[in-house]
C-alpha cells in the first residue's frame, strides 16, 4: 500500500497548549481518511501543518515523499485545501474565484478556461458560474470552494469540517461529491465531528482527543474491537448503561438474564460514538 501522508511524532504547541502531540499517522494513497474528534481536539491544527500553513513545533510530515517544511512548494502543487470557513471572495463570481486560484498556480489562459468549465460542470454549478458567491446557498458555496481548490489538479484534497452548517440534503450531496472525487482518483483527508459522516465516507478513521490519536482503523475494525452490538439499559429510570457484545446472540442472552428492575432495553449496532465514549468517557459532541 502506497503511503501518501506519513507523520512522525508530529507536535504543535501554542504556548502551553499542545494542540497536537506525537502524532504518528499514515494516509494511504487513494483512500478517504477521516479525522474525527470533538472541538479543540487538534484537527484543524493538523490540517494547517500538513498543508504548510503553519510549521510543526517538532516531528515531521511527508506528503507524496516531500517534507512539508523543507519542500513546501512541491507539497503545495500536490494538494488542495478547503478550509472550514469560506475562503472564496464573496464579492467575486464563482468563475472569478476559480480564475484567481488557477492564476496563483500559474496555469496558462486556455488551459485555465478549459479546466474551469469542466470543474463547473463536474459540480453542477455551470449555470451559477457568473453569480456572486454571496448569493449562493451554503451547499453551493461549499461546492464552489471545493472546485476552486481543484483547478491545479491536486492528487490530494483536504476538507476541514466540510458539512458544518449545511442542511441534510446539501450534506448528502456533498458526501456524493467527495465519493465521486475519490473514485476519480483523489486521495481525501477530511475532518469532522459528525460520527455518521465518518462512517458514511471514510475507509479509515483516526480519532483525536486533546491532541492525541486514540484510535486508528477502519470503522468496522474499531467497532469489532469494542463489540459490534451494543445493549443499552436504563436502571431505576436514572442512568443508562452500555454493554458491548461480539454478536446478537451474545447480546440477547445477556438481556434474557438481566434482573427485573432493569426496564428499558435497546439492542443496536455499535458505532464510532461508542468507540469514542469508551476510550475517553466523553461524547464527540461535548465541548469538553
Ligand X SMILES: Nc1ncnc2c1ncn2[C@@H]1O[C@H](COP(=O)(O)OP(=O)(O)O)[C@@H](O)[C@H]1O
Residue numbers at the binding site for ligand X (CB under 6 A): 14, 17, 19, 37, 39-45
Output 193 or 223, the one with its CB closest to ligand X: 193
Specify whether the CB–CB gap between 119 and 98 falls below 8 A: yes
Using CA atoms, how far apart are residues 124 and 118, in angstroms rounded to an integer? 10
Q: Residue 13 or 131: which CB sits closer to Mg ion?
A: 13
Cell of 110: 486556455
Cβ neighbour number for residue 34 with a 10 Å cutoff: 26
**DSSP tag of 20:** E
Contacts with Mg ion, 43-72, as mask; x by CB under 5 A:
xx----------------------------
Output the smallest distance, CB 282 to ligand X, in A.
13
CB of 287 to ligand X, least distance (A): 10
**Nearest distance, CB of residue 81 and ligand X, angstroms:** 14
Out of Mg ion, ligand X, none, what residue 176 binds, judged by CB under 5 to 8 A for its kind, is none
Q: What does 37 bind: ligand X, Mg ion, none (CB cut-off 5 to 8 Å by kind)?
A: ligand X
H and E: helices and strands count for the chain: 10, 13
User: In angstroms, rounded to a whole number, what is the distance separating the alpha carbons of residues 171 and 148?
Assistant: 19
Contact 162, 193 (CB under 8 A): no
Nearer to ligand X, 34 or 64 (CB): 34
Q: Which residues bind Mg ion (CB under 5 A)?
A: 43-44
Amino acid at each position: 500500500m502506497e503511503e501518501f501522508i506519513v507523520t512522525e511524532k508530529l507536535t504543535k504547541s501554542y504556548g502551553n497548549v499542545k494542540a497536537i502531540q506525537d502524532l504518528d499517522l499514515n494516509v494511504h494513497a487513494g483512500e478517504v481518511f477521516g479525522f474525527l474528534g470533538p472541538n479543540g481536539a487538534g484537527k484543524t491544527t493538523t490540517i494547517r501543518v500538513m498543508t504548510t500553513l503553519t510549521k510543526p513545533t517538532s516531528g515531521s510530515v511527508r506528503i507524496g515523499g516531500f517534507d512539508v517544511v523543507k519542500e513546501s512548494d512541491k507539497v503545495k502543487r500536490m494538494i488542495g485545501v478547503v478550509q472550514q470557513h469560506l475562503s472564496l471572495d464573496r464579492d467575486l463570481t464563482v468563475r472569478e474565484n476559480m480564475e484567481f486560484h488557477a492564476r496563483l498556480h500559474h496555469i496558462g489562459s486556455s488551459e485555465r478556461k478549459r479546466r474551469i468549465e469542466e470543474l463547473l460542470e463536474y459540480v453542477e454549478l455551470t449555470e451559477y458560474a457568473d453569480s456572486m458567491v454571496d448569493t449562493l446557498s451554503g451547499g453551493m458555496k461549499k461546492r464552489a470552494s471545493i472546485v476552486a481548490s481543484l483547478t491545479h489538479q491536486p492528487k490530494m484534497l483536504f476538507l476541514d469540517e466540510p458539512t458544518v452548517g449545511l442542511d441534510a440534503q446539501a450534506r448528502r450531496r456533498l458526501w456524493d461529491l467527495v465519493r465521486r472525487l475519490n473514485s476519480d482518483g483523489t486521495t481525501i483527508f477530511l475532518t469532522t465531528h459528525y460520527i455518521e459522516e465518518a462512517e458514511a465516507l471514510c475507509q479509515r478513521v483516526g480519532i483525536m482527543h486533546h491532541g492525541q490519536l486514540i484510535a486508528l482503523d477502519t470503522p468496522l475494525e474499531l467497532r469489532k474491537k469494542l463489540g459490534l452490538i451494543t445493549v443499552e439499559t436504563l436502571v431505576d429510570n436514572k442512568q443508562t448503561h452500555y454493554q458491548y457484545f461480539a454478536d446478537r446472540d451474545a447480546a440477547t442472552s445477556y438481556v434474557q438474564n438481566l434482573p427485573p428492575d432493569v426496564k428499558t432495553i435497546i439492542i443496536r449496532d455499535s458505532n464510532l460514538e461508542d468507540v469514542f465514549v469508551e476510550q475517553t468517557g466523553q461524547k464527540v459532541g461535548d465541548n469538553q
